[in-house]
């Protein structure tokens, strides 16, 4: 989540007005808005190539794939946000208070950024887990060819699997494998920033 400017609490209708007039996207949660930072070239390429893989699978099963221009609303918690990619299978369901927000994704994708990785893995995933339709949550590294896939099993538990160079992985929401090497083809990965050493 981006930094929140000093502000009083705003309702969702006010947030929608701000979104219509702003030149950047914002998240909304509990009356506060948070500016979403722009991505790197690598982030954009990884997102696009992952969307390409999702489109390939979706064409065989009638699902629809969306980019980061499409908002997701978590009805259980109120969070409104823009994942890097989302997939809906079956009829599209919109938030009653925001017809431009989807509420029934089956797949959500986030390309990890140094500034938002902890949020994506932690609080944001906690919100996403409250979406009843969600079956797969995909995290894509910018520093090495690594995809982490959280899938909801038949008992409702989230199971983690990882895939790297030469590996394939499969979503539970759509049939067919995705090759990690295709997601990372031609991407010049950036080294991870050094971690602070504790004395």
Within 8 A by CB and 6+ apart from 122, the residues are none
Alpha carbon distance 189, 85 (integer Å): 20
What is the tens place of the pLDDT at every residue in 88-112?
999 999 999 999 999 999 999 999 9
Find the helix or strand (DSSP H, E) in which 91 lies.
none
User: What is the dotted CATH code of the domain comprising 40-183?
Assistant: 3.90.1570.10
Q: Which of 2-11, 14-23, 92-101, 170-179 has the lowest mean pLDDT?
A: 2-11
Quick one: average pLDDT of 47-75? 96
pLDDT(175) > 60: yes
Look up the pTM and report it: 0.91
What is the tens place of the pLDDT at every residue in 143-165?
999 999 999 999 999 999 999 99
How high does pLDDT run on average in the chain? 92
């Amino acid at each position: 989540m981006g930094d929140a400017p000093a502000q009083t609490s705003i309702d969702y209708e006010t947030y929608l007005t701000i979104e219509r007039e702003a030149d950047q996207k914002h998240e909304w949660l509990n009356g506060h808005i948070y500016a979403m930072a722009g991505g790197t070239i690598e982030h954009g390429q990884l997102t696009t190539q992952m969307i390409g893989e999702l489109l390939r699978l979706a064409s065989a099963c009638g699902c629809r794939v969306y980019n980061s221009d499409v908002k997701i609303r978590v009805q259980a918690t109120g969070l409104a946000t823009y994942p890097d990619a989302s997939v809906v299978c079956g009829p599209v369901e919109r938030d009653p208070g925001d017809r431009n927000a989807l509420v029934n994704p089956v797949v959500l994708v986030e390309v990890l950024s140094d500034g938002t990785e902890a949020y994506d893995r932690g609080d944001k995933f906690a919100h996403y887990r409250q979406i009843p339709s969600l079956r797969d949550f995909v995290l894509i590294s910018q520093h090495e060819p690594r995809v982490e896939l959280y899938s909801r099993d038949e008992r409702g538990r989230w199971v983690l699997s990882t895939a790297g160079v030469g590996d394939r992985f499969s979503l539970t929401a759509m049939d067919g494998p995705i090759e990690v090497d295709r997601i990372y083809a031609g991407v010049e990965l950036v080294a991870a920033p050094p971690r602070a050493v504790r004395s």
